[in-house]
Amino acid sequence: MAGERAVSSVAAGAAGSGAAGADSASGGAGPDERADLPRAGDGAGERGIASGGPRDSGISGRVVVPRDRFTLDASLELRPGERVAIIGANGSGKSTLLAGLAGLTELARASTVTLGGHPWRSIPVEARGIGFIAQDGLLFPHLSVLDNVAFGPRSAGRSRRESREIAARMLEEVRVDHLAGAAASSVSGGERQRIALARALATEPSTLLLDEPFAALDVDASVEVREITAEQVRARGLSLLLVTHDLVDAVRLTDCVIVLESGKVVERLETRDLQRAPASAFAASFAGLARVPGTLATDALVTASGARIPLRGVEVDRSLRVGASALLLAAPDHVELVDSGRGAVGGDGEAARTDAGGNVAMSASSFADAVESLVGDGSAVRARLRSGLLARVDSERLPQAGAIVRVRIHHARLRPAP
């Protein structure tokens, strides 16, 4: 998206303030279709859009945008007040989806998006009640902080004095009122994102579109801006679409997560289920879980890439039958290297017994595996094991790649393979 954002910086700055973006410029419905809807310049901004109008209503339908390698074709359902995280690998189309809804990228004719039941194109951008914040804030560098925030209300037809009063109030709400007179080009990253939030809020949006708004900030600033954003979103009952690569953002700010893969929605789940029941590989890795394909060999043992993993500490889905393909989901913090064992993987000496049907039941709680590599995970080091599991490691006693180790799972889930 970088190129598009750069050329659209004025529109992006204005998107939070309701100025025309790409798709309104590209036409859309004729005058009759829009008769009951607010228009640019008809004073809608001064009165605010009446409740029950598009601003208060959900967004739903297909967003279609052709891209270089694929066509984004994402079905979306955002109910009023709902907060949704959009996650996916780099280049999966997350920013394209947001840019399309912000009016910064033209939607293809095949799109069927509606806002409150009205066709998207029939509603002028400034009447959609959408605020947009990009990773780098996109403030107008030649304006003061106050004038950046006043831009939206001013464009919507408010007087200069009124617009500045609104701006001052918004800056106070996000706790950067002391910067009102500063040049926008002189503020820090954290301040810039708060000002961008104030600017979006000054247009009284009902939906906020946030494209990795905390990603360029240092840890302290990102915590502060995230908390202020959460505060405002909740206090105002805003709907939210948040593009993020950060589990904390999703958990703190959203109720629901959609996963994009090559422009398609491949999974939608509640945020609280991210660490419990992610179906896609991306959602599992986003949640920090190892996702290990294996086979339920007995009712007490799963085999995975040569490792024979006892199911002690593992919650097994009731529908799984012996012999079925399964997925073991485990957070690295719940997988411990108990010592560097010896011998071949699988020949691990657990106390095993054979039941009447010839199935092997394991009584041991640990098993042998091999360290494939060490991987960084934020501030922690993890061991990637041959089975596919990730284990926490003591940074004072890092195992060697290739070492045979004993592993104990304290908590994990075993689900049917998708």
Ligand X SMILES: Nc1ncnc2c1ncn2[C@@H]1O[C@H](COP(=O)(O)OP(=O)(O)OP(=O)(O)O)[C@@H](O)[C@H]1O
Q: What is the binding site for ligand X (CB under 6 A)?
A: 1, 3-4, 67-69, 88, 90-96
Report the residue number, 1 or 238, with the smaller CB distance to ligand X.
1
Q: Rounded to the nearest whole angstrom, what is the least distance from the CB of residue 101 to ligand X in the complex?
A: 12
Q: Rounded to the nearest whole angstrom, what is the least distance from the CB of residue 109 to ligand X in the complex?
A: 17
β partners of residue 276: none
Q: Would strands 366-377 and 404-409 be described as parallel, antiparallel, or unpaired?
A: antiparallel
Report the residue number, 151 or 286, with the smaller CB distance to ligand X.
286
Q: Rounded to the nearest whole angstrom, what is the least distance from the CB of residue 281 to ligand X in the complex?
A: 16
Token reading at 64: 């279609």
Report the residue number, 94 or 118, with the smaller CB distance to ligand X.
94
Measured distance CA(73)–CA(193) in Å, rounded: 30
CA dihedral angle for residue 323, residue 329, residue 334, residue 335, rounded to 10 degrees: 60
Q: Rounded to the nearest whole angstrom, what is the least distance from the CB of residue 262 to ligand X in the complex?
A: 9
Taking alpha carbons only, the member of 14, 23, 22, 4 closest to residue 196 is 14
Question: Cβ distance 391 to 332 under 8 Å?
Answer: yes
Report the residue number, 8 or 17, with the smaller CB distance to ligand X.
8
Report the residue number, 8 or 203, with the smaller CB distance to ligand X.
8
β partners of residue 405: 369
Q: Rounded to the nearest whole angstrom, what is the least distance from the CB of residue 8 to ligand X in the complex?
A: 9
Measured distance CA(4)–CA(324) in Å, rounded: 47
Strands (E) located in 189-273: 207-211, 239-243, 256-261, 264-270
Q: Rounded to the nearest whole angstrom, what is the least distance from the CB of residue 227 to ligand X in the complex?
A: 24
Q: Rounded to the nearest whole angstrom, what is the least distance from the CB of residue 107 to ligand X in the complex?
A: 13
Token pair 């890092």 is found at: 398
Question: Where is 354: in which H helix or E strand?
Answer: strand 352-354
Q: Would strands 404-409 and 390-392 be described as parallel, antiparallel, or unpaired?
A: unpaired
Report the residue number, 267 or 369, with the smaller CB distance to ligand X.
267
Q: What is the DSSP letter of 204?
A: -
Report the residue number, 4 or 255, with the smaller CB distance to ligand X.
4
